[in-house]
Amino acid sequence: MLLFLILGVLSGPEVTKYVLDNGLRVVFVEDHSAPVFAGVVQFDVGSYLEHPGITGVSHLLEHMLFKGSKKLGTIDYGREKKIIQRIWDIYEKLPYADSLERSKLREELKKLKEEEKKLVVSEEIWKIYYRVGGANMNASTGNTSTQYFLLLPSNKKEVWAKTESDRFQNLVLREFYSERDVVNEERRMGDGNPSSVLWDNLIATAYIAAPVRWPVIGWESDIMNITPQEVMDYYKKNYVPERCVIVLAGDVYPEKDIKLVKKYFGRWKKRKPPLIRITQEPEQRGTRRAHVEFRATPRMGIAFHGPYYGTKDYFALELLSMILTDGNSSIMRQELVDKGIATSVNSYVMDFDKKVVSLMTIFVNPAPGKNFKEVEDSVFSILESIKKEGISQRSLKRAKNNYKKDILSWQKNVLWMAIGAASNERVMGDPEYSFKVLKTIEEIKIEDVMNVLKKYISLDRATIVTLGGEK
Amino acid sequence: MRKILLIGLLSLSILAGEMKSPMAKEVERMKFPPLKWDVPEVGKDIKMLKENGSVIFLKENHNLPLVEITIYVRGGRLYTDPTDRAVCELLAPMLERGGTKDLSPEKFSDILDFNAISFSVDQGVDHYTIRLSCMKEVLDTAFYLLKQALFYPSFNERIMKVEIQNIKDTWRKNLETPSRALWILSDYVAYDGHPAGSLPDFTVFESRVKEKLQRIHRMFFVPEHMVIGVVGDVTEEEIRSAFKDFKPDYKSEGFKDDVKPFSEEPQKKVFFYNLQIPQGYILLQERVRVEPSDLYRVMLMNEILGGGGFTSRIVLKVRNEMGLAYSTYTYFSLFSNPLPPHFYAFSATRSDAVQDAIDAILNEIKRIRDEKVPVEEIKVAKDSYLNSTITRYSNDWRFIPRIVNLYFRDMPLDYYSKLAENINNVGIEDVLEAARKYINPDKLYILIVGDTTKIDLDKLRKFGEVEFVNLEVKGL
């Protein structure tokens, strides 16, 4: 076991990092203000590893990881295993069966599910955690990562270590088909939401090749056709210790608690992570446009490919985004909202963990009476005038002040700290990276911001998607 | 009485008859070192101060150089004529950014943004919520801006035009976003004809808006109507000094906190708002009058029925077993005084399964009213409450706003410190009694937001007459 002891940098908390023999990285972030801790298990697994046909598999797998293991969620896995296999077989046969056979298979399925019910303890992982005081328990899947997290009283670390280490090593795909339906309902919730539909279309248009162009939740036809075997294969291939970071933040004692982590997670078999080739986005040649017919008030999304995360240019772009739209004193709020061209404007930079080029997005809602063309012209006119006139020292300082405060505020909550440290470690190999970024932020000058503005933000590099209203 | 929680020693005994996996059994056999932790108490861990008629709850926390202030101001559409609703809504953004006596809107926003001070004003039915967050080093500036914004707004006409447009835009979006439309429909039907359920009438913006804003503002924004929570890197002395002059040079005029009587509950019907979406958003709803002595029984009963996350009955049935919904839950709005509390059961499911989801929810309601809850089920619900006090209430930044809400709602200030003890005293009979007393299927009415061309209305009629609701917002 390798030990790195990293002293807190800047104003961050005490952070200690270990790497177990199986390649699993373990990070402790100390904050003894309350006897609680946040446990985060984060994988370098997300929709970027998918391809058409299995879009949404990362997210579906995240759901399935709450269904238990060979020892969890069942009273007798030996008996249950045969039932599960038969259920899978029937679902595979159903689409090809004639009507008579189909009705027989459905009858058998009904009986099997009744039998399964006698063995399954549904949602038992939640029950275990609830009973020992778990809070904020959840998971999330993104383009580039999947994470499982919760808060627990600090005397319950062993419950966490035992349960989490088991589910990530011994997954059983029980109640697969009903959970697949649940995921599809989750997807439908997005389909009824105009902002969500706009985002799906913007990212699908902005990226023509990189594997972040499909929705994290997946397309309906993929979700509803994906098989348990495909999910299991994906799990076995990708959920390996070397692609995982675990973080315990809060009332933790690294020297003592690492023994507990090692006891449970040290058994996780080392497996060579698969070779991953990520299709990179080719250079964009000209403006891309799309319009989505939707009965909704008009909305517009504008996107630009940006630099890779972790570079100085990337952070300069983040500052530019803050200068443009953060707060009522920002340039675009004043020029677009206060002048009655738009009812709102927001921007942010999606980093994609430096796996593909970042994406700066600007979302604008046209004001009544303003058409998309007028709004688009106004946005680009503002950008062009900034290119000519520059930005003020005060607006740059304002953005830096807010960046610093965001990093401070992040430390109010041990769960946020844990998630942040896990991302930092997973992406940059340094759990304290966010604090070190402050130094880079301080060093960024007006010229740096102007450079990224000129280099990345222009009409011929833009993707413009409109929704609702008129075309 | 101070309650000390020995969390580690709380029993996780093996209960006969419950299905448990080998893992659950192993966890039950674990022994945990005791943890001594107390829910922070007002008067001891949290200071309660009074300045100029307002009440201030202060929790010093010097771990980070940050300060956060939460203020509840009694006011809003509940206390005005329904025609004032739109003005009540406009007041919030105008305080946030409409300029002040001494500062133009641009100057105000510039100082705020430059110093990384977050400041927001949100309006609710019966109160405004002000949130301010800043770094310790700019606290004086933050207090200055806060006082200017809350007591000396100038309601700049140009910004007013912009914000009127924004409010209208928000309403258009609300009415096309299913979850928001559902909750608007909920209030509209529940408080029919009452200011609490009124829809805004934007034609009031056609004349003398500034005058209307000034009247509403002066009615509500005085220290006597404020409950304030402060957490962060400050001392009592600093807070006393800052709030000493935290008062305006006017007095409240025309404020009456006697709430207009609420109309009778709606009939048992299906209220339908048409929206072209791929799902039906469902809310089963009824007004309840929970006696204070029944509070904890109701809470525990709801935890078991649908409020307790993934282990509660409706979630297990509708989501887990039937695969019909991603989100489904039940909720009692117990902290709603002076609004009457309601029971809500929510689900969103595909259009052709709306009836099935409603049936499943009603069946679970029937079950909890007909049958005693098994010992093991109530144990899980109780353990969840008892053991999670530490994870729910140990973060000062989140806890102080809860205390502000308690005080504002006339709830006992020791509510959280006695919660575990009170929940622990609830028995199986209590849960049954609470379900029978407070959920009455004969009174439950149903609200649906969905597509009339995809949801079978004939099937819905078995739950009551289907009435289409037009959420008409005048002047939109």
Instruction: Provide, as residue numbers in chain B, all residues whose Cβ is less than 8 Å from the Cβ of A122.
Output: 316, 320-321
Task: Count the residues in chain B.
Answer: 476
Please answer yes or no on whether B387 and A182 come within 8 Å at the CB atom.
Answer: no
Instruction: Provide, as residue numbers in chain B, all residues whose Cβ is less than 8 Å from the Cβ of A194.
Output: 173, 176-177
Banded pLDDT at B1 (limits 50, 70, 90)? very low
Residue A72 Cα, gap to closest chain B Cα (Å): 5
Q: How far is CA A292 from CA A296, A303, A465, in A?
A: 10, 16, 8
The answer to whether residues A187 and A172 touch, using CB atoms and an 8 Å cutoff, is no
The answer to whether residues A453 and A386 touch, using CB atoms and an 8 Å cutoff, is yes
CA angle A380, A385, A391 (to 5 degrees): 115
pLDDT of residue B88: 96
Instruction: Provide, as residue numbers in chain B, all residues whose Cβ is less than 8 Å from the Cβ of A171.
Output: none
CA B329 to chain centre: 15
Mean of all residue pLDDT scores within chain B: 93
Instruction: Provide, as residue numbers in chain B, all residues whose Cβ is less than 8 Å from the Cβ of A404.
Output: 116, 135
Q: How far is CA A27 from CA A21, A251, A283, A310, in A?
A: 15, 13, 38, 20
Q: How far is it, in rounded angstroms, from Cα B309 to Cα B327?
A: 10
Residue B14 pLDDT exceeds 80? no
Mean pLDDT score, B216-229: 97
Please answer yes or no on whether B387 and A133 come within 8 Å at the CB atom.
Answer: yes
Please answer yes or no on whether B310 and A398 come within 8 Å at the CB atom.
Answer: no
Residue A222 Cα, gap to closest chain B Cα (Å): 17
pLDDT of residue A470: 60
Question: Which residue among A122, A134, A192 places its CB closest to the CB of B320?
Answer: A122
Please answer yes or no on whether B390 and A178 come within 8 Å at the CB atom.
Answer: no
Q: Which residues contact B60 (CB under 8 A, 6 or more apart)?
A: B47, B232, B233, B234, B235, B236
Instruction: Provide, as residue numbers in chain B, all residues whose Cβ is less than 8 Å from the Cβ of A398.
Output: 113-114, 116
- Based on C-alpha coordinates, what's the Rg of chain B? 24
| Percent of residues, chain B, with pLDDT higher than 70 | 96
Q: What is the CATH number of domain B47-244?
A: 3.30.830.10
pLDDT of residue B404: 98
Q: How far is it, in rounded angstroms, from Cα B93 to Cα B217?
A: 12
Please answer yes or no on whether B21 and A398 come within 8 Å at the CB atom.
Answer: no
pLDDT of residue A67: 96
Please answer yes or no on whether A126 and B309 come within 8 Å at the CB atom.
Answer: yes
- One CATH from 3.10.129.10, 3.40.50.10490, 3.30.1180.20, 3.30.830.10 for A288-467: 3.30.830.10
Going by C-alpha positions, the residue among A54, A333, A76 that lies closest to residue A180 is A54
Helix (H) or strand (E) holding A360: strand A359-366
Please answer yes or no on whether B320 and A175 come within 8 Å at the CB atom.
Answer: yes
Give the type of residue at A270.
K
In the numeric block, the tokens 């679970």 are attached to: B364
Instruction: Provide, as residue numbers in chain B, all residues whose Cβ is less than 8 Å from the Cβ of A152.
Output: 391
Q: How far is it, in rounded angstroms, from Cα A256 to Cα B202?
A: 63
pLDDT of residue A11: 56
Q: Which residues contact A412 (CB under 8 A, 6 or more apart)?
A: B64, B66, B395, B397
pLDDT of residue A172: 97
Instruction: Provide, as residue numbers in chain A, all residues whose Cβ is less than 8 Å from the Cβ of B61.
Output: 33
Please answer yes or no on whether B320 and A405 come within 8 Å at the CB atom.
Answer: no
The answer to whether residues B123 and B87 touch, using CB atoms and an 8 Å cutoff, is no
Buried-state track A400-429, b at ≥16 Cβ within 10 A, e below 16: bbbbbbebbbbbbbbbebbbbbbbbbbbbe
Tens of pLDDT, residues B131-159: 999 999 999 999 999 999 999 999 999 99
pLDDT of residue B6: 37
Question: Which residue among B165, B308, B392 places its CB closest to the CB of A343?
Answer: B165
SS3 sequence of chain B: CCCCEEHHHCCCCCCCCCCCCHHHHHHHHCCCCCCEECCCCECCCEEEEEECCEEEEEEECCCCCEEEEEEEEECCHHHCCHHHHHHHHHHHHHHHHCCECCCCHHHHHHHHHHCCCEEEEEECCCEEEEEEEEEHHHHHHHHHHHHHHHHCECCCHHHHHHHHHHHHHHHHHHHHCHHHHHHHHHHHHHCCCCHHHCCCEHHHHHCCHHHHHHHHHHHHCCHHHEEEEEEECCCHHHHHHHHHCCCCCCCCCCCCCCCCCCCCCCCCCEEEEECCCCEEEEEEEEECCCCHHHHHHHHHHHHHHHHCHHHCHHHHHHHHHCCCEEEEEEEECCCCCCCCCEEEEEEEEEHHHHHHHHHHHHHHHHHHHHCCCCHHHHHHHHHHHHHCHHHHHCCHHHHHHHHHHHHHCCCCCCHHHHHHHHHHCCCHHHHHHHHHHHCCCCCCEEEEEECCCCCCHHHHHHHCCEEECCCCCECC
State both tokens at A86. 């038969």
Tell me which range, A265-279, B12-26, B93-107, is most confidently predicted by mean pLDDT. Answer: B93-107
State both tokens at B259. 């709430």
Banded pLDDT at B17 (limits 50, 70, 90)? low
Please answer yes or no on whether A131 and B173 come within 8 Å at the CB atom.
Answer: no
The answer to whether residues B380 and A131 touch, using CB atoms and an 8 Å cutoff, is yes
Instruction: Provide, as residue numbers in chain A, all residues whose Cβ is less than 8 Å from the Cβ of B311.
Output: 123, 126-127, 130
Domain extents in chain A: 288-467
Instruction: Provide, as residue numbers in chain A, all residues whose Cβ is less than 8 Å from the Cβ of B173.
Output: 194, 296-297
Please answer yes or no on whether A34 and B394 come within 8 Å at the CB atom.
Answer: yes
State both tokens at B473. 């917002």
pLDDT of residue B257: 78
Mean pLDDT score, B239-257: 91
CA A403 to chain centre: 21
Instruction: Provide, as residue numbers in chain A, all residues whose Cβ is less than 8 Å from the Cβ of B174.
Output: none
Question: Which residue among A155, A178, A189 places its CB closest to the CB of B32?
Answer: A155
pLDDT of residue A385: 97
Strands A25-30 and A244-250, by their bridges, are parallel
The terminus-to-terminus CA distance of chain A in angstroms comes to: 60
Is domain B270-468 annotated with CATH 3.30.830.10? yes
CA A380 to chain centre: 30
Helix axes A124-131, B375-387, angle to 10 degrees: 50
Please answer yes or no on whether A343 and B166 come within 8 Å at the CB atom.
Answer: yes
Domain extents in chain B: 47-244, 270-468
The answer to whether residues A364 and A195 touch, using CB atoms and an 8 Å cutoff, is no
Q: What is the DSSP letter of A337?
A: I
Range scoring the smallest mean pLDDT among A54-58, B6-10, B273-277: B6-10
Residue B320 Cα, gap to closest chain A Cα (Å): 7
Going by C-alpha positions, the residue among A445, A442, A441, A424 that lies closest to residue A433 is A424
Q: Say how many CA atoms lie within 13 Å of B105 toward its Cβ.
A: 21
Please answer yes or no on whether B116 and A405 come within 8 Å at the CB atom.
Answer: yes
DSSP, residue by residue, A210-250:
STTSS-TT--HHHHHH--HHHHHHHHHHH--GGGEEEEEEE
Q: How far is it, in rounded angstroms, from Cα A267 to Cα A254?
A: 19
The answer to whether residues A77 and A172 touch, using CB atoms and an 8 Å cutoff, is yes
Residue B184 Cα, gap to closest chain A Cα (Å): 16
- pLDDT digits (tens), chain A, 471 positions: 333 333 333 457 899 999 999 999 999 999 999 999 999 999 999 999 999 999 999 999 999 999 999 999 999 999 999 999 999 999 999 999 999 999 999 999 999 999 999 999 999 999 999 999 999 999 999 999 999 999 999 999 999 999 999 999 999 999 999 999 999 999 999 999 999 999 999 999 999 999 999 999 999 999 999 999 999 999 999 999 999 999 999 999 999 999 999 999 999 999 888 889 999 999 999 999 999 999 899 999 999 999 999 999 999 999 999 999 999 999 999 999 999 999 999 999 999 999 999 999 999 999 999 999 999 999 999 999 999 999 999 999 999 999 999 999 999 999 999 999 999 999 999 999 999 999 999 999 999 999 999 999 999 999 999 999 865
CA-nearest residue to A113 within chain B is B321
Higher pLDDT, B18 or A242: A242
Please answer yes or no on whether A178 and B323 come within 8 Å at the CB atom.
Answer: yes
Question: Which residue among A123, A183, A343 places its CB closest to the CB of B311?
Answer: A123
pLDDT of residue B15: 41
Please answer yes or no on whether A398 and B278 come within 8 Å at the CB atom.
Answer: no
pLDDT of residue B82: 86
Please answer yes or no on whether B391 and A151 come within 8 Å at the CB atom.
Answer: yes
Helix (H) or strand (E) holding A292: strand A288-292
Q: Name the region of B313 (left: φ>0; alpha: ψ -120 to 50; beta: rest).
A: alpha
Q: Do B47-244 and B270-468 fold alike per CATH?
A: yes
Instruction: Provide, as residue numbers in chain B, all residues whose Cβ is less than 8 Å from the Cβ of A130.
Output: 308-309, 311, 380, 383-384, 388
Range scoring the smallest mean pLDDT among B7-16, B19-28, B102-111, B425-434: B7-16
Residue B446 Cα, gap to closest chain A Cα (Å): 20
Q: How far is it, in rounded angstroms, from Cα A462 to Cα A303?
A: 6
State both tokens at A339. 């002048």
State both tokens at B14. 């093996």
Residue B2 pLDDT exceeds 60? no
Going by C-alpha positions, the residue among A43, A228, A213, A239 that lies closest to residue A139 is A43
pLDDT of residue B259: 87
Residue B314 Cα, gap to closest chain A Cα (Å): 13
- Does the interface predicted TM-score (ipTM) exceed 0.90? yes
Please answer yes or no on whether A188 and B279 come within 8 Å at the CB atom.
Answer: yes
Please answer yes or no on whether A194 and B310 come within 8 Å at the CB atom.
Answer: no
Alpha helices, DSSP H only, in A17-76? 57-64
Give the type of residue at B204.
V
Q: How far is CA B169 from CA B199, B303, B432, B464, in A?
A: 15, 37, 46, 34
pLDDT of residue A125: 96
Q: Which residues contact A62 (CB under 8 A, 6 or more apart)?
A: A139, A140, A141, A146, A148
Interface A:B, Cβ pairs < 8 A = 235
Kindly provide the residue ranges of all beta strands, DSSP E only, lying in A131-286, ordered along the sequence: 135-141, 146-153, 244-250
Question: Which residue among A68, A153, A191 places its CB closest to the CB of B391?
Answer: A153
Tens of pLDDT, residues B305-356: 999 999 999 999 999 999 999 999 999 999 988 899 999 999 999 999 999 9
Residue B327 Cα, gap to closest chain A Cα (Å): 8
pLDDT of residue A6: 31
Q: Which residues pair with B49 in a beta bridge?
A: B56
Q: How far is it, in rounded angstroms, from Cα A18 to Cα A25?
A: 6
Please answer yes or no on whether A127 and B22 come within 8 Å at the CB atom.
Answer: no
Q: With the C-alpha atoms ordered B418, B422, B424, B425, is the resulting torsion angle positive or negative? A: positive
Question: Which residue among B309, B391, B397 places its CB closest to the CB of A36?
Answer: B391
Residue B8 pLDDT exceeds 90? no
The answer to whether residues A266 and A21 touch, using CB atoms and an 8 Å cutoff, is yes
State both tokens at A382. 């503002």
Q: How far is it, in rounded angstroms, from Cα B252 to Cα A44?
A: 57
Q: Say how many CA atoms lie within 13 Å of A52 toward its Cβ.
A: 5
Residue B262 Cα, gap to closest chain A Cα (Å): 33
